[in-house]
A and B are shown apart, each in its own frame.
Chain A
């Protein structure tokens, strides 16, 4: 089955800096890779996703890159703001069945 590893587990950046979170997956059949943001006490919410037929996707300050050969994908947040502070989860899978990484706690210091 699929296994998703996420690094780092914690990340602290200064406001305005960039943040990068990386994930690797094991199952070459996986074709869908979402990223979720979870604020304290709230539900996970999708912020961006990418499919295996695309190498990069961008939405304002957020971008995701996918390297199918190396089986890894990354979340990039530019110009970080204090409201970006949250736990971020990557996921990998197909046919609606996702395996999630263990999460990265991002802290953005003003």
Chain B
């Protein structure tokens, strides 16, 4: 589990500000994911990436931007934060084909005022 980290762990921001959440993994997993977790909704996929420079939308991508210039990093940016984006964000990684288990980071709690 220590192989996947997220920063910051807690973040308070204001409506309209840009926020970037960082995710870093040391396993060289090809797949990386961003989820948001809200009460009553479980884990919802925002974006995922199959490899460096390859990203795709998940279930709830609106208002978010991702990039993946390096295999180990997968930052998530809220371009103009809204209160509805207050949530806990989890990053995960996996290596499909060998073992499809997704390993989750510790999460980032984001509060948008």
CB-nearest residue of chain B to A49:
B101
B43 touches A100 (CB 8 A): yes
At the interface, is chain A mostly helix, strand, loop or mixed?
A: strand
Chain A residues in contact with chain B, CB under 8 A?
A: 6, 32, 34, 36, 42-46, 49, 89, 91, 94-103
Q: Smallest distance from the beta carbon of A37 to chain B beta carbons, Å?
A: 11
Q: Which residue of chain B lies nearest to A44 when distances are taken between CB atoms in the complex?
A: B104
List the A residue with the shortest CB-CB distance to B6: A43
Count, chain B residues at interface, CB 8 A:
24
Contacts of B107 in A (CB 8 A): 43
CB-CB under 8 A from B43, the residues of chain A are 44, 89, 100
- CB pair B90–A96 under 8 Å, yes or no, is no
Question: Are B42 and A100 closer than 8 Å at their CB atoms?
Answer: yes
B50 contacts chain A at the CB level, 8 A cutoff: yes
**A–B complex contacts, Cβ < 8 Å, 27 sampled:** A6-B42, A32-B100, A36-B104, A43-B90, A43-B104, A43-B105, A44-B43, A44-B104, A45-B1, A45-B104, A46-B101, A46-B102, A49-B100, A89-B42, A89-B43, A91-B102, A94-B100, A95-B100, A96-B31, A96-B50, A96-B94, A96-B95, A99-B45, A100-B35, A100-B43, A100-B44, A102-B40
Task: Give 9 new A-B contacts, CB below 8 A, not counting A96-B100, A98-B102.
Answer: A34-B101, A34-B102, A43-B90, A43-B107, A44-B43, A46-B102, A89-B42, A101-B42, A102-B42
Tell me, yes or no, whether B8 is within 8 Å of chain A by CB. no
Name the interface residues of B19-45: CB closer than 8 Å to any CB of A: 31, 35, 40-45
